[in-house]
Amino acid sequence: MSIKLLGKQSLIYGFGHVITRLVTFLLLPLYTNQFTPEQYGVVALFYTFVPLLNIVMRYGLGAAFLKNYVPANSEERMSIMTNVIVSLIISGLPFLAIFYFFRLDLSYILFGVVKPSYVVIMGVIVFFDTIWSIPMLAFRAENRPRLFISLSLLNVGITLLCNLLFIIILKMSIGSIFLSNLIASSFLFILVIPYIIKRSKIASLSLTKWKHIISFAFPFIPAGLFAMAMEVADRYILKLLTDLETVGIYNAGYKVGVLMLLLVNAFNMGWQPYFLEKKFNYQSNVYPRINTIVLSVLGFVWITLLFWTDELIKTQFFGITFFGSEFFDSLLIVPWIGLSYFFYGFYLLQTPGIFLKNRPKYAAWTRFFGAVTNIGLCFILIPTYGEMGAAYATCIAFALMALLMYCINRYLIEFKLEVRNLTIIFLLLIFSYIAFIIYEDSSIVNLTIMCFYVFIIFYYKLINMKNLHKIFT
């Protein structure tokens, strides 16, 4: 894959992610105006636990699948697909049984309320999502971003339509949100079955091949669990130290701040297949250029969130604000969550070393460090600062984790970053935040600073027209 193709695919993934996240983002007014913060707190806990279960049920096979599938020939790819899918089905069925037979106890543990049907729905969603995620990874490895995005949009579209039907027309409770998700996941699962059958062959099952895949996958289990600990710890600690209302308010702001993740994930979907190819040269000037360009773009997106989120959320459309007034306090955490995912973008840029040198254990150690830091800071900061304390803890943890991964990457492979350019980006972000604090309500100042950011980026050639032409045309 060329850097030109990387740019194009990042744009395609980016467009798809923007549309996907935009639809889910637009559901927030529906949720925050129809349900109380306490009710939305249950929704927050549900979707906090689902990704965690996805990691457990996938036990690192996603990363291992991609690493082995990208450089393989067609025959080897069939063997990889078969071994991974069969492994996930065999291990997934006992999980389904546990979620069914212990649904009553699990509902109280997870949500603090007795809703056993929510637990069963959660188990089925996770099982279906785990299976259809593998063909989706294959589409990325095969450089088929349009098919990947089409299926993602279909998933989101079904979820949206079901939500509108169940909540607005049928006036159903928060359980309808989970039911909508179940219907969408089931539909996508059915759609990818023909692809799985076509790309699988029972005769290609191999214990040797499976052991080879698993040997790389297993270290990603703790890495994934620690990653989710970073994502979910704040909400569960908030629930422990405060109440469901605070969790609901925090989660609403988190959903806005996580928009930064749109670009991060879009880039990463093209980035992983790119550096996994044998032609990737981390000692060339291309790698530091990619770091500078990506962080420049992420910095601009963060400044946009910083300056305009409050105005967007509080503006009335047909007499209705984007958030219900009970959720306005959540806007204070948006810049800090957005900055967290800026650092996460830098973290992902520093991952080639652990893949190229077959050192997945370092992913686990960095995630462990981030999780412990986040959890520890949550217990320290939440009693004093409430939901803001959770946001501070998340941001600090992501920053330190990114720094640690950079050090590991430098240890594993030899490369140089454009230190001057990265310093300029960070100084611009600090300057923007200071200006935001001083001139919080000034649209003119906000626009001026955004234009100044763009001017500096191009003046110092962090991004220039030659780069953009080379990458995106």
Q: What is the mean pLDDT of the chain?
A: 82
Q: Between these two residues, 473 and 342, which has the higher pLDDT value?
A: 342
What is the DSSP track for 319-365?
TEESS-GGGGGGGGGHHHHHHHHHHHHHHHHT-HHHHHTT-THHHHH
Residue with token string 């500078």:
292
Residue whose C-alpha is closest to residue 364's, from 63, 39, 146: 63
Whether the pLDDT of residue 471 is over 60: the answer is no
pLDDT band (50, 70, 90) for residue 472: very low
**pLDDT mean over 383-398:** 92
Q: Between these two residues, 132 and 44, which has the higher pLDDT value?
A: 132
**pLDDT given for residue 91 in this prediction:** 87
**pLDDT given for residue 323 in this prediction:** 60
pTM, to two decimals:
0.71
| Residue pair 262/14 in contact by the 8 Å Cβ criterion | yes
List the single range of 108-112, 143-147, 311-315, 389-393 with lowest mean pLDDT.
311-315
What is the DSSP track for 18-77?
HHHHHHHHHHHHHHHHHS-HHHHHHHHHHHHHHHHHHHHHHTTHHHHHHHHHTT--HHHH
**pLDDT given for residue 208 in this prediction:** 81
Which three-class secondary structure state does DSSP give residue 171? coil
d(CA 473, CA 454): 21
| Residue pair 381/442 in contact by the 8 Å Cβ criterion | no
For residue 127, what is the enclosing H or E element? helix 116-141
**pLDDT given for residue 320 in this prediction:** 61
pLDDT band (50, 70, 90) for residue 50: confident
pLDDT digit string, tens, across residues 198-222: 888 887 787 888 888 887 777 777 7
**pLDDT given for residue 325 in this prediction:** 63
For residue 86, what is the enclosing H or E element? helix 74-101
